[in-house]
């Protein structure tokens, strides 16, 4: 949220003055808080969010910087003015472009990833880090993809917000210090403001005894209608029960 | 007064039942979304079965079941194509909250006393997977899930051949989705069934 505020992305979200969650407030709230986690926890979460058999690096190195909504040079892209990825995560070994969508329902497309890779290379010199893309939300398929641009190949990792939230929730199983758990809790709260809730399994469904005679009480035609008499129909097509 | 008291208790049970159904249905939707994500299907659409949906205008043909979507509900997860781009497959998951109607040959939908006892029935998911060559039409006759041989608690798995389509029907008790580890075991078993029969290679994402 703070990032969205700093980058003036909240105009459409405070209306009348009701808060309207948006793609930018979701990105800002979630990644804006993820950035404060230790690097090993962050990389574990991102890897888990990308699925079971993905090649997302286990070790991305220390997170050096996280930048939101930068404006990159659009030369050789299909954008006319600029290219604006959602987040750039700079680590010791990787530069991770994050392209986020508001929901998990669709919206990601290859051309946009391509534009962002080209624009990144326009705007930054080669620092020896491996460049990858994380497509977060809006994926029709969660299988990782490979983009070829010239002679180079780039991996696009696809994750859903649902999987990212679940990956974060699972971190509570670890024995972390209280301040880490508070951060994780805030991230989960940020998800909930935006309508994302973690999975509840059947093991948390509690047994609540019901009286086995209840169905009989309602099924017997005499029982209920002893107290609720059909009144004389009004001059409509409706029947009414008079109490 | 005794009757009033039994009505009050019954209505208290109604309130409890509604809250139980809410808690239960939230978990069902969570599980289906988890399955969709793990099997990498694109979306979830829902369809009511067992009766019509609740109409705007209530008539003599409107059943109470029309208001109870959770009794038998279909979650359609969409279609996918294999990596070789020559086979299409589609998956629906049917939520049988109560197989009790289907367990008896003499059941009447609007007469609960003809259903088997709750303790003798089951709550289950039925996976309906159709696999076909890409150029062939879909068979997709999901009404087959109403057949007693597939709808009851005793069903485990069946493979049907319908024209060029293969239909995999796979039943699993909802209690198997007790936690993520168990859920993944179920999905691995389902994937193994499809693979061992030489039907399709599904991998968990």
Give pLDDT tens digits for A29-78: 999 999 999 999 999 999 999 998 889 998 899 999 999 999 999 999 99
Contacts of B9 in chain A (CB under 8 A): 211, 214, 217
Are the beta carbons of B57 and B78 closer than 8 angstroms? no
- Chain B residues within 8 Å of chain A (Cβ atoms): 3-4, 6-7, 9-10, 13-14, 16-17, 19-20, 23-24, 26-27, 30-31, 33-34, 37-38, 40, 42-43, 80, 112-113, 174-175, 177-180, 183, 203-205
**A211/B contact by beta carbon, under 8 A:** yes
pLDDT computed for residue B69 by the predictor: 96
pLDDT digits (tens, 9 = 90+) for A141-179: 999 999 999 999 999 999 999 999 999 999 988 999 999
**Number of Cβ atoms within 10 Å of the Cβ of B205:** 22
Average pLDDT of chain A to the nearest whole number: 86
pLDDT computed for residue A228 by the predictor: 43
- What is the C-alpha separation between B97 and B94, in angstroms, rounded? 9
- What is the C-alpha separation between B194 and A180, in angstroms, rounded? 42
> Where does the pLDDT of residue A227 fall: very low under 50, low under 70, confident under 90, or very high at 90 and above?
very low
Contacts of A140 in chain B (CB under 8 A): 42
The model's pTM is 0.86
The dihedral sign for the CA sequence B103, B106, B110, B112: negative
pLDDT digits (tens, 9 = 90+) for B29-49: 999 999 999 999 989 999 999
Q: What does the domain layout of chain B look like in residue ranges?
A: 2-196
Radius of gyration of chain B measured on its C-alpha atoms:
19
pLDDT computed for residue B115 by the predictor: 94
> Where does the pLDDT of residue A240 fall: very low under 50, low under 70, confident under 90, or very high at 90 and above?
very low
Closest CA to A52 of A184, A169, A206, A166: A166
- What is the C-alpha separation between A59 and A40, in angstroms, rounded? 7
- What is the C-alpha separation between B167 and B145, in angstroms, rounded? 11
Nearest Cβ partner of B6 from A51, A143, A217? A217
**Burial of A126: CB neighbours in 10 Å, binned 0-12, 13-18, 19+:** exposed
**Burial of B21: CB neighbours in 10 Å, binned 0-12, 13-18, 19+:** middle
- What is the C-alpha separation between B92 and B74, in angstroms, rounded? 6
**Number of Cβ atoms within 10 Å of the Cβ of B143:** 8
Task: Pick the range with the lowest mean pLDDT from A10-14, A89-93, A117-121.
Answer: A10-14
Closest CA to A163 of A44, A51, A9: A51
pLDDT computed for residue A225 by the predictor: 44
pLDDT computed for residue A243 by the predictor: 34
Per-residue b/e over B71-96, b at no fewer than 16 CB within 10 Å?
Answer: bbbbbbbeebeeeeeebbbbbbbbbb
Q: What is the least distance, in Å, from the CA of B132 to any CA of chain A?
A: 20
**A199/B contact by beta carbon, under 8 A:** yes
Contacts of B4 in chain A (CB under 8 A): 227
CB contact under 8 A, A199 and B33: yes
Q: Is the pLDDT of residue A24 over 70?
A: yes
pLDDT computed for residue A220 by the predictor: 62
At A237, is the secondary structure helix, strand, or coil?
coil
pLDDT computed for residue A6 by the predictor: 65
Nearest Cβ partner of B40 from A143, A201, A214? A143
- What is the C-alpha separation between A87 and A97, in angstroms, rounded? 6
Closest CA to A29 of A175, A200, A198, A196: A196
Nearest Cβ partner of B205 from A105, A143, A224? A143
Flag residues of chain B having pLDDT under 50: 1
pLDDT computed for residue A219 by the predictor: 67
Choosing among A101, A165, A201, which should be mutated to test the B contact, i.e. which has the most B CBs within 10 A? A201
- What is the C-alpha separation between A64 and B201, in angstroms, rounded? 41
pLDDT computed for residue B2 by the predictor: 54
**A219/B contact by beta carbon, under 8 A:** yes
- The gap from C-alpha A114 to its chain's centroid, in whole angstroms, comes to 22
For the CA atoms of A165, A167, A169, A170, the dihedral, rounded to the nearest 10 degrees, stands at 160
Are the beta carbons of B51 and B66 closer than 8 angstroms? yes
pLDDT computed for residue A13 by the predictor: 75
Choosing among A51, A136, A139, A202, which should be mutated to test the B contact, i.e. which has the most B CBs within 10 A? A202
The pair of structure tokens assigned to B34 is: 């988890």
């Amino acid at each position: 949220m703070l990032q969205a505020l700093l980058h003036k992305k909240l105009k459409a979200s405070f209306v009348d003055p009701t808060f309207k969650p948006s793609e930018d407030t979701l990105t800002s709230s979630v990644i804006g808080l993820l950035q404060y986690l230790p690097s090993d926890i962050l990389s574990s979460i991102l890897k888990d969010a990308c699925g079971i058999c993905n090649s997302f690096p286990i070790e991305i190195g220390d997170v050096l910087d996280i930048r939101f909504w930068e404006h990159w040079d659009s030369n050789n892209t299909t954008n006319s003015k600029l290219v604006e990825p959602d987040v750039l995560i700079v680590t010791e070994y990787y530069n991770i472009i994050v392209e986020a969508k508001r929901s998990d329902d669709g919206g990601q497309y290859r051309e946009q990833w391509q534009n962002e890779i080209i624009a990144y290379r326009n705007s930054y010199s080669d620092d020896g880090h491996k460049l990858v893309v994380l497509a977060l939300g809006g994926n029709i398929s969660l299988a990782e993809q490979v983009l070829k641009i010239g002679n180079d190949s780039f991996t696009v990792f696809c994750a859903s917000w649902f999987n990212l939230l679940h990956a974060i929730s699972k971190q509570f199983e670890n024995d972390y210090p209280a301040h880490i758990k508070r951060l994780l809790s805030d991230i989960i709260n940020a998800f909930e403001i935006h309508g994302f809730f973690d999975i509840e399994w059947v093991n948390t469904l509690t047994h609540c005894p019901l009286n086995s005679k209840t169905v009989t009480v309602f099924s017997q035609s005499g029982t209920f209608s002893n107290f609720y008499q059909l009144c004389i129909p009004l001059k409509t097509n409706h029947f009414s029960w008079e109490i | 007064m005794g009757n009033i008291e039994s009505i009050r208790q019954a209505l208290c049970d109604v309130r409890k039942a509604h809250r139980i159904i809410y808690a239960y249905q939230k978990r069902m939707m969570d599980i289906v979304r988890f399955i969709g994500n793990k099997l990498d299907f694109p979306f979830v659409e829902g369809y009511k079965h067992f009766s019509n949906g609740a109409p705007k205008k209530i008539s003599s043909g409107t059943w109470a079941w029309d208001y109870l979507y959770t009794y038998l509900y279909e979650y359609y997860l969409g279609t996918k194509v294999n990596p070789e781009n020559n086979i299409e497959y589609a998956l629906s998951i049917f939520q049988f909250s109560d197989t009790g109607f289907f367990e008896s040959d003499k059941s009447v939908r609007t007469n609960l006393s003809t259903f088997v006892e709750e303790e003798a029935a089951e709550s289950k998911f039925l996976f309906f997977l159709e696999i076909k060559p890409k150029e062939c039409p879909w068979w997709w006759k999901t009404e087959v899930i109403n057949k007693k041989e597939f709808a009851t608690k005793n069903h485990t798995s069946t493979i049907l051949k319908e024209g060029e389509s293969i239909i995999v029907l796979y039943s699993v008790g909802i209690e198997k989705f007790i936690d993520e580890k168990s859920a993944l075991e179920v999905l691995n078993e389902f994937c193994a069934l499809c693979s061992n029969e030489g039907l399709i290679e599904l991998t968990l994402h």
